[in-house]
Structures are given as C-alpha cells and as structure tokens.
Amino acid sequence: MILKAKHNIIIYNFFRNYAIRKTNKVFDKVFFDGNFEDKNKPILLIANHVSWWDGFWLMYLNRKMLHRKFHFMMLENQLKKFWFFNYTGGFSINKQSKSIIETLNYTLDLLKDSNNLIIIFPQGKITSKYESNIKFEKGLDWIIKRAMEIQILQVVNLVDYFSNPKPSLYVYFKEYKISENNKNIDQSFQQFYNQSIEKQKLKAF
C-alpha cells in the first residue's frame, strides 16, 4: 500500500515559506527562462534531479508562477525516513513492489484535478549535475499516455557562480505538447536539457 499525499496546513505552509526564504538567502538571484501559458489544467512537472535542493526550487517556482497544490513522487524508503514530506504533498513509490501500479494510478487520479501540480524526477535518483546523459526510469510514458487534459512542463535547474561569491539559480522551463511533438518525453527532455546547457554557457560571456 502506498503512502498518499497529505497537506497538513502547518507543515505545508512552513515548508512553502521556508523554500522561499532559504532560496532567497542562499542564492544571489533566481532567474526564470521560458514560456508557459497556464490553461487552468493539472500540471505534470518533469525535472532533472541533481541535489537536496530540487524540491525546494520547484516549490519556489510553484509559488512564483504556477500556483497549484504541490505533490511529488518520492521513493518509499526515503518518504518513511523523512515522514514530514508526506504532509507537504509527498507520495510514495516502491519500484521493487507491485504497489508501483497503485502509485501510477494514484498519480493519474491526482492529474484529474486542475488545482494539482505533480512533480516527477524521472531519473529516479539524485545524479551529478555534470551528468549530461539523462536516463529516465520506466513509468512516465505510462502516465502520459493515460492522463487526460493535462499540461506537461519540463524544467531544468542549473546553478552557477560566475564572478559572484554567491551562486545564482537558473530555472529553464518549457511545455511538452504531445500533439505537436514527434519525440518521446525522454528524447524531448534530453534535447531541452542540452539546449539549456548551451544557453547557460553563453551567460558566462
């Protein structure tokens, strides 16, 4: 049986505000780069997974731009260890258990509500930010093929110092439109990731 997302108003609001304060304190600036037309549909957000910070950055993005109820898929053993994330929208997945089907169906149910944002890190684990080949775990295509009336947002988070003593956060985002895209989601994300890296290189000059 999976751990379904909960939203305790005290814990949820604490982490939402903490994400804003902590990001503003640690990073010199936060830059958003992309276009997204909000069509008042549920949002499936797909992002690279490079650090402990990822969830906080996406909560920051949600607070500033998307304005949805925050949900995210998290490994079951990690969610049990950090139980408080369950009260901020975290729900579990166990890739070694039959409950994985329950998790996928639960995700589809969440994607029926236009107020919801569901975050998936399809790499399935934290990887080095220097890893250029983004490898997706199975399951994401299954969700996308069955979800109805959703918007899919691809996000790439990058951090650079350049000439500043404090790092800046660069959030690149782009909508993935199934009807207009002849690439699989993993191919599309890899292309978008590569484009984001090239854009980031130009900022150093």
- Going by pLDDT thresholds of 50, 70 and 90, the confidence category of residue 130 is confident
Flag whether the pTM goes above 0.75. yes
9-202: which CATH number, 3.40.50.12780, 3.40.1130.10, 1.10.10.60, 2.130.10.30? 3.40.1130.10
Domain edges within the chain: 9-202
C-alpha separations of 29 from 24, 26, 82, 142 in Å:
7, 9, 29, 37
Using the Cα atoms of residue 195, residue 50, residue 13 and residue 94 in order, give the sign of their dihedral: positive
Judge whether 47 and 174 are in contact, CB under 8 Å. Answer: no
Angle between helices 54-61 and 9-26 (to 10 degrees): 100
**What pLDDT does 205 receive?**
63
The per-residue pLDDT of the chain, averaged, comes to 92
